Amino acid sequence: MVNLTIDDKQVTVPKDATIFDAAKAAGIRIPILCHDKKLHPFGGCRMCLVEVEQMKGRQIPACTTPVTEGMIVRTTTDEIIKARKMVLELLLLKHPIDCPVCDAAGDCDLQNLTYEYKVNANRFQDEKFQHKIDYENPLIERDMNRCIHCGKCARICDEIVSFGAYTFMNRGIEAKIGTEFDGPLNCEFCGSCVSVCPVGALVSRPFKFKARWWSLNKVKSVCSYCGTGCQLTLGVKDNKVLTTIYDENQGFHNGQLCTRGRFGYQFVNSDKRLSTPLIRKNGTLQPASWDEALTLVSAKLVEAKNAGGKSVAGLVTPRLTNEELFLIKKLFKDGLGSDSIDHSAGYAHAALTAGAAESFGSAASPSVISDIQNADLLLVVKTDAYETHPVVGFEINLGVKRKEIDLRIISDKRGKLSKLPKAVTYVHKPGQEVALVNALAQVLLADNLQDSTATGVEGFEGLKQQLEAFAPEKIAAACGLDADTIKTLARDYAKAAKALIILPLGLGYPGHGKALAQALANLALLSGKVGKEGCGVLFLGEKNNSQGAADLGIYPTAGGADADAILAGCQSGSIKTLIVAGENPVVSYPDRKRVEAALDKVEFLVVQDLFLTETAAKAHVVLPACSFAEKSGTFTSVGRAVQQVNQAIKPVGEARSDFAILNGLLAGLTGNAPYADAAAVFAEIAATVPAYAGLTIAGLGDTGAILPVTVKPRFVAAETAAVTAESGKFALVTGSALYHCGTMSRFGEGPMHVCPEGYVELGRDDAQALNVKDGDTVAVKSASGELRLKAKVGTRMPQGVVFAPYHFDEASVNSIAVGAPVTWVSISK
């Protein structure tokens, strides 16, 4: 600790603090333009000048100067104010000062400081900048005339996003922030640069000119795309969500979002939203009143209940709030007497609900997000962890670059994470994850590297026996990695003091199920890396509330039918009534033909959704539901974080929240009074779900809470599924595209501008052999169907392996993939 005096106030701060940090701790504000707490100090703008007595009153930047013992600092003397005014005058010299048409006005650091320091005339004169404005991309407008060269955009894109789209170019007065060859911006469009730009040089195009910053109502909420659970602030005006607002104090991620969170909010106010209930009459869906629709649904449910409940089933999206999930589970259990309810096609949650549940004793990750930066070694399964959970990816970037965490990736392709400094990617043959992880565990045992606690864990002997078949030498050839490489990886993992395993889950990853989760759990348990800081296994649930869906039992818990059996039941006629709440199985579940046939067959299909999805189009009754912006409740995200969602706008059209719909149906069926509000349901969750015990919705506040977990370790042999390569064919692996999450992002303009359609990604060699160029349309044919997809040629894919994202309806990849980790396809032009 270091003691110093700032403006006559005594401050004690850690010795790595800067004068700026010390002043902040003492509640003294020093103006800044180029400093950001998330980034390395830069010292470019000189706005933060202060005087230090020991330096004979020389003016030094507060943001880059470390504190020293006994320092006496003055932050506002006449001299300093003069210097700051000069800084502003020089910045304004070539600046266009077009505040009336600049979207930053009102939230512009330059404007605010100019006002504060009363700079109303300029002693200097020069021409204004004449840079060409970049209007080329649909999301970020770059007006370098307004740029003040703070370098924040270039730094954040490099330090945190690790994309590196910008750099300073030219010298002196010609200097500007440039892109690759000074061309149009073509990047990940995460919008991080837009959020940190202190002026209006980088603005969000979807929000351009829509409203003034000060007229927006700012509502704190949680992103409703992936499981990372980023907190965000919605900018609302006239019952419309107009933008997401950057708040550097929100969440573990300091307000950073990915492209979906930042630019994908438009689905909320999309004009494709359903506005009234629809009922199928004479074969077509026709608008109806809520009364009519609900009476019909209730009647069918009562019928099903009286028939014993076996004939009714539900497929529920993990995008609903915890309270809604609780209600639907209760509706099935108490109202209908059915246990046939499931989510995410059954397999995308099995890693948690079956894998973690057996190996760790509860269906949750034993680790939390902060473990990422506290680890010494990260073992990431698939480079796709970046695509599925981009902001978790930022944490990995930061850990690797700032804390020199050793990053190891086992993956069937290379990806963005592979490019991080010193990252090692072990590219194995598709579908071999479980075998490879088993081999790692086998090496631990063979080398006697297991932790002393491991031998006492139940199932140890059995595991030892099972693993014998997985000696690296035995599986090396099938995995496509040599035995020594596998051994080195295992030893490095075992020897790291703190090592964390990261496993992304999702509908696009059928292989990331129970077996892989258990293989990884075995590895972590064997090396004693569970239940300690920076250790364990972090499961990345796909959707915003995937963890909540696991906690609240949105899967058969008493012998009911799972998603697969539900679809089979619809097909065979044993299930007569199907409630689909927010899921879109037609596009996202494997084997589209089978799903469509099942849904066409079922007697009565009710769909609650925001949009007339491919699934809703088949329904007998469609109920218009609400987005996350229209309701309050809680989501539980990766690392067991429960956070509050706050209603920002009134329901669009006649839409009703799933909460209201389910609450009404439940009360009707059970004869009990409906719940008063989300808080009442949350209270019941707290009373019945052990992990939530003691929590209240109000007590969660803005930061949320981390659910407790007790690990009851057990070794369970992880079964491998045979992958039989078909000669002359390509291995198709599916997954998520960076800009999308599930099928909802298709209704956001942002994601659709950047990634509007499905594609198939091939390696260069394969493309050359097939004579396919980037952008060509190719026919992809599997045993179950054929698709025409645009080819994307790059360096990521190893020879013989191709990748396709799953989110799209047209050319939906589930019409050729039937849920196996690898689908064998032939590709022709």
At 105, give phi and psi (nearest 5°).
-50, 130
Closer CB to ligand FES, residue 34 or residue 341? 34
- Residue numbers 718-777 binding another protein by CB under 8 A: none
**Residue 185 Cβ, how far from another protein at the closest point, in Å?**
15
Q: E strands, 288-340, where? A: 312-316
Apex CA 596: angle with CA 595 and CA 600, to 5°? 120
Element containing residue 168 per DSSP (H, E): strand 167-169
787 contributes a contact to ligand SF4 by CB under 6 A: no
**Residue 141 Cβ, how far from another protein at the closest point, in Å?**
8
Q: What does the block give as tokens for 714? A: 């057990």
105 contributes a contact to another protein by CB under 8 A: yes
Neighbour count for residue 284 (Cβ, 10 Å): 8
Closer CB to ligand FES, residue 67 or residue 489? 67
558 CB burial (10 A radius; 0-12, 13-18, 19+): exposed
The answer to whether 685 touches 323, Cβ cutoff 8 Å, is yes
Work out what residue 773 binds among ligand SF4, another protein, ligand FES, none; the CB cut-off runs from 5 to 8 Å by kind: none
Total number of residues that touch another protein (CB under 8 A): 14
99 contributes a contact to another protein by CB under 8 A: yes
Measured in whole angstroms, how far is the alpha carbon of residue 682 from the centre of its chain? 24
Closer CB to ligand SF4, residue 33 or residue 817? 33
Work out what residue 48 binds among ligand FES, another protein, ligand SF4, none; the CB cut-off runs from 5 to 8 Å by kind: ligand FES
Q: Interface residues with ligand FES (CB under 6 A)? A: 32-35, 43-48, 61, 63
98 contributes a contact to ligand SF4 by CB under 6 A: yes
Residue in 326, 324, 367, 322 with CA at minimum distance from that of residue 635: 322
Torsion-angle region of 653 (φ positive above 0: left; ψ -120 to 50: alpha; else: beta): left
Cα(233)–Cα(243) distance, integer angstroms: 9
Residue in 574, 645, 579 with CA at minimum distance from that of residue 608: 579
Residues 6 or more apart in contact with residue 282 via CB below 8 angstroms: none
Closer CB to another protein, residue 127 or residue 238? 238
Closer CB to ligand FES, residue 47 or residue 285? 47
Closer CB to another protein, residue 69 or residue 238? 238
Closer CB to ligand FES, residue 150 or residue 625? 150
**Residue 516 Cβ, how far from ligand SF4 at the closest point, in Å?**
22
Closer CB to ligand FES, residue 17 or residue 454? 17
Report the DSSP beta bridge partners of residue 600: none
Work out what residue 135 binds among ligand FES, another protein, ligand SF4, none; the CB cut-off runs from 5 to 8 Å by kind: another protein
CB under 6 A: which stretch of 11-19, 108-116, 328-336, 658-666 binds ligand SF4?
108-116
CA distances from residue 604 to 139, 209, 601, 670, 757 in whole angstroms, order as listed: 42, 46, 9, 21, 32
- Would you give the DSSP letter of residue 175? -
Closer CB to another protein, residue 37 or residue 208? 208
Cα(72)–Cα(69) distance, integer angstroms: 9
209 contributes a contact to another protein by CB under 8 A: yes
**Residue 280 Cβ, how far from ligand SF4 at the closest point, in Å?**
34
Work out what residue 539 binds among another protein, ligand FES, ligand SF4, none; the CB cut-off runs from 5 to 8 Å by kind: none
Cα(770)–Cα(18) distance, integer angstroms: 58
Cα(227)–Cα(233) distance, integer angstroms: 17
384 contributes a contact to ligand SF4 by CB under 6 A: no
**Residue 471 Cβ, how far from ligand SF4 at the closest point, in Å?**
39
Residues 6 or more apart in contact with residue 795 via CB below 8 angstroms: 414, 763, 764
Cα(566)–Cα(589) distance, integer angstroms: 12
- Would you give the DSSP letter of residue 228? T
What is the chain's percent helix, strand, coil content, to nearest 5?
35, 20, 45
The answer to whether 207 touches 243, Cβ cutoff 8 Å, is yes
**Residue 439 Cβ, how far from ligand FES at the closest point, in Å?**
51
Collapsing DSSP to helix, strand or coil, 536 comes out as: strand
Closest residue to ligand SF4 using C-beta atoms: 261
Work out what residue 161 binds among another protein, ligand FES, ligand SF4, none; the CB cut-off runs from 5 to 8 Å by kind: ligand SF4
Work out what residue 212 binds among another protein, ligand FES, ligand SF4, none; the CB cut-off runs from 5 to 8 Å by kind: another protein
Cα(750)–Cα(717) distance, integer angstroms: 44
One-letter amino acid of 396: I
CB under 8 A: which stretch of 95-103, 242-250, 301-309, 690-698 binds another protein?
95-103
Work out what residue 619 binds among ligand SF4, ligand FES, another protein, none; the CB cut-off runs from 5 to 8 Å by kind: none
Cα(339)–Cα(329) distance, integer angstroms: 8
156 contributes a contact to ligand SF4 by CB under 6 A: yes
The answer to whether 331 touches 596, Cβ cutoff 8 Å, is no
Q: Figure out which of the listed residues 10, 69, 101, 673 binds another protein, where binding follows CB under 8 A.
A: 101
The stretches of 561-652 forming alpha helices (DSSP H) are: 563-572, 585-588, 592-601
- Residue numbers 179-208 binding another protein by CB under 8 A: 208
The answer to whether 586 touches 612, Cβ cutoff 8 Å, is no
Residue in 433, 450, 430, 435 with CA at minimum distance from that of residue 493: 450
One-letter amino acid of 74: R
214 contributes a contact to another protein by CB under 8 A: yes
**Residue 691 Cβ, how far from another protein at the closest point, in Å?**
47
Q: Binding string, 49-88, against ligand SF4, x = CB under 6 A?
A: ----------------------------------------
One-letter amino acid of 723: V
Closer CB to ligand SF4, residue 48 or residue 274? 48
Cα(256)–Cα(252) distance, integer angstroms: 9
133 contributes a contact to another protein by CB under 8 A: yes
Q: Figure out which of the listed residues 242, 380, 505, 741 binds ligand SF4, where binding follows CB under 6 A.
A: 741
793 contributes a contact to ligand SF4 by CB under 6 A: no
Q: Figure out which of the listed residues 12, 167, 186, 215 binds another protein, where binding follows CB under 8 A.
A: 215
Closer CB to another protein, residue 100 or residue 559? 100
- Residue numbers 389-418 binding ligand SF4 by CB under 6 A: 389-391
- Residue numbers 200-229 binding ligand SF4 by CB under 6 A: 200-202, 223, 225-226, 228-229
Work out what residue 124 binds among ligand FES, another protein, ligand SF4, none; the CB cut-off runs from 5 to 8 Å by kind: none
Cα(667)–Cα(673) distance, integer angstroms: 6
Closer CB to another protein, residue 120 or residue 284? 120
One-letter amino acid of 819: G
Neighbour count for residue 384 (Cβ, 10 Å): 30
- Residue numbers 245-264 binding ligand SF4 by CB under 6 A: 257-258, 260-261
100 contributes a contact to another protein by CB under 8 A: yes
Q: What does the block give as tokens for 798? A: 């190893």
Q: Figure out which of the listed residues 105, 302, 449, 686 binds ligand SF4, where binding follows CB under 6 A.
A: 105
CA distances from residue 596 to 21, 300, 783 in whole angstroms, order as listed: 59, 22, 18
Cα(785)–Cα(817) distance, integer angstroms: 8
Work out what residue 214 binds among ligand SF4, another protein, ligand FES, none; the CB cut-off runs from 5 to 8 Å by kind: another protein
163 contributes a contact to ligand SF4 by CB under 6 A: yes
CA distances from residue 162 to 157, 400, 414, 417, 824 in whole angstroms, order as listed: 6, 11, 16, 9, 34
Q: Figure out which of the listed residues 29, 58, 118, 212 binds another protein, where binding follows CB under 8 A.
A: 212
- Applying CB under 8 A, the residues found at the interface with another protein are 99-101, 105, 133, 135, 141, 208-212, 214-215
- Applying CB under 6 A, the residues found at the interface with ligand SF4 are 95, 97-100, 102, 104-105, 108, 110-111, 140, 146-153, 156-157, 161, 163, 165-166, 177, 187-193, 196-202, 223, 225-226, 228-230, 257-258, 260-261, 389-391, 741
